[in-house]
Amino acid sequence: MLQSVFDVNTIRKDFPILERKVNGKSLIYFDNAATSQTPKQVIEVIVDYYSNYNANIHRGVHALSQEATDAYERARTKIQKHFNAKHAYEIIFTSGTTHGINLIANGFSSLLKKGDEIIVSALEHHSNIVPWQMLCERTGAILKVIPMSEEGELVLSEYDALLSTNTKLVFVNHISNALGTINPIQYIIDKAHGLGAAVLVDGAQSCPHIRPDVQDLDVDFYVCSAHKICGPTGVGMLYGKEEWLKKLPPYQGGGEMIAEVSFEKTTYADLPHKFEAGTPNVCGGIAFGAAIDYMNAIGFDAIANYENELLVYATKQLEQIENLKIYGTAKNKTSVISFNVGSIHPYDIGTILDKMGIAVRTGHHCAQPIMDFYKIPGTIRASFMFYNTKEEIDTFIASLKKAIMMLS
């Protein structure tokens, strides 16, 4: 179990998957930006739910339904407190970050008109680009893009120039999944609000590493996924300011999101149920809350400090490898390193590393505009979490050198 002092060897015992072998080698998991691993404390919550009180929620008077409802709503409150939302009903359970973004994009279809402008950044994941392109097609709004620099940072002077009284919405990720850049979202929010525009922040990559305070940021919408935060897949959350959530129409129709239904007229339920049609991922929501508990027990300051040590340690070693180029050298970044080696295709290196038991991500990382900017097909991405070690990085570096030798 966790200790008050950060001890990575004790923490690693919480993650059963770290004991397994891949191709006869001890697993080294450096694909955390895609999906983090799940501690036994969260796995036990999932098993307990399906073993002891699996039931639909909010609809039954029987004991199991009431127990499940209570656990689900307690999880919502945990998430509210973690992100410091003003009200629990400002937390909407979703299937993940992409769902939350699409929910907001759909809602603004009725609020935008031709000639309105919305702004995204050049550092976005496809899930924070495509829904807004679709929104522009539906409404006639114009999509504008904050450009990036060679270092992988947003050019804020260009952002300032893009803003106008026509700007209605700004969308930016808190941390780039492809480069690890931590964006200056407070500046972006303040500037947008100065012209009356709303801001949505994609927190999928930030929430594993830092603890956002949505009231302090004064952000209008914040989205994330549990599977990046030691929780299960298929569940996430959308935070929205109460005034915005009341203004937006429901995303889906069905059970749970209604107050009354007749064939003549339907009235919608209050928040948060207005946006939670159908049977939710009850177990996922409860486990999401357990994952939040787990990471807070370690402490986000301790997590950030340790992960920065890993980032610095790995970066220094990678910089010593001939012909290796790191993409994303922002002054403010998290524990993600994207790189290529000479003309070797990233897929080939990733395949050989897998044979050595090392999991990295290769490709464009659902961020093709970034790859187009650098004129490359993709990168090798190593992403670290608080349960990784410097010893694993040493093995990764030695294995990478072997792979380069084999492919040169």
Residues 68, 25 share a domain: no
CATH number at residue 397: 3.90.1150.10
User: How many Cβ atoms are within 10 Å of 5's Cβ, its own excluded?
Assistant: 7
**Measured in whole angstroms, how far is the alpha carbon of residue 235 from the centre of its chain?**
11
User: How many Cβ atoms are within 10 Å of 71's Cβ, its own excluded?
Assistant: 21
Structure tokens that stand for 314 in this block:
């790995």
pLDDT of residue 177: 96
Residues 273, 310 share a domain: no
For 60, 154, 336, 367, 374, the CA distances from 124, given in Å and listed in that order, are 42, 11, 15, 6, 15
Position 2 pLDDT exceeds 50: no
Domain that holds residue 200: 44-296
Task: Quick: pLDDT tens for 53-81.
Answer: 999 998 778 999 999 999 999 999 999 99
The answer to whether 242 touches 215, Cβ cutoff 8 Å, is no
User: Which residue has tokens 């059970």?
Assistant: 255
Residue 317: CB partners within 8 Å, gap ≥ 6? 393, 394, 397
Residues 23, 165 share a domain: no
Note if the pTM is more than 0.75: yes
Task: Quick: pLDDT tens for 150-196.
Answer: 999 999 999 999 999 999 999 999 999 999 999 999 999 999 999 99
Handedness of CA 281, 12, 23, 359 (dihedral sign): positive
Query: Between these two residues, 143 and 277, which has the higher pLDDT value?
Result: 143
Q: Which residues of 292-302 are buried (b: 16+ CB within 10 A; e: fewer)?
A: bebbeebebee
pLDDT of residue 377: 93
The Cα–Cα gap between 107 and 104 comes to 5
For 77, 90, 167, 229, 338, the CA distances from 80, given in Å and listed in that order, are 5, 8, 29, 15, 33
Residues known to be catalytic: 366
DSSP state of 358: E
Residues 290, 311 share a domain: no
Residues 271, 203 share a domain: yes
- Place 270 in a pLDDT band, splitting at 50, 70 and 90: confident
Task: Quick: pLDDT tens for 85-128.
Answer: 999 999 999 999 999 999 999 999 999 999 999 999 999 999 99
- Place 258 in a pLDDT band, splitting at 50, 70 and 90: low
Number of domains the chain contains: 2
Residues 120, 21 share a domain: no
Task: Quick: pLDDT tens for 321-355.
Answer: 999 999 999 999 999 999 999 999 999 999 999 99
CATH number at residue 179: 3.40.640.10
Q: Which residues of 152-162 are buried (b: 16+ CB within 10 A; e: fewer)?
A: bbbeeeebeeb
Collapsed DSSP state (helix, strand, coil) of residue 87: coil
Apex 304 CA angle, 100 and 180, nearest 5: 55
Residues 169, 20 share a domain: no
The upper half-sphere exposure of residue 10, i.e. CA atoms within 13 Å in the direction of its Cβ, equals 8
Structure tokens that stand for 363 in this block:
């490709």
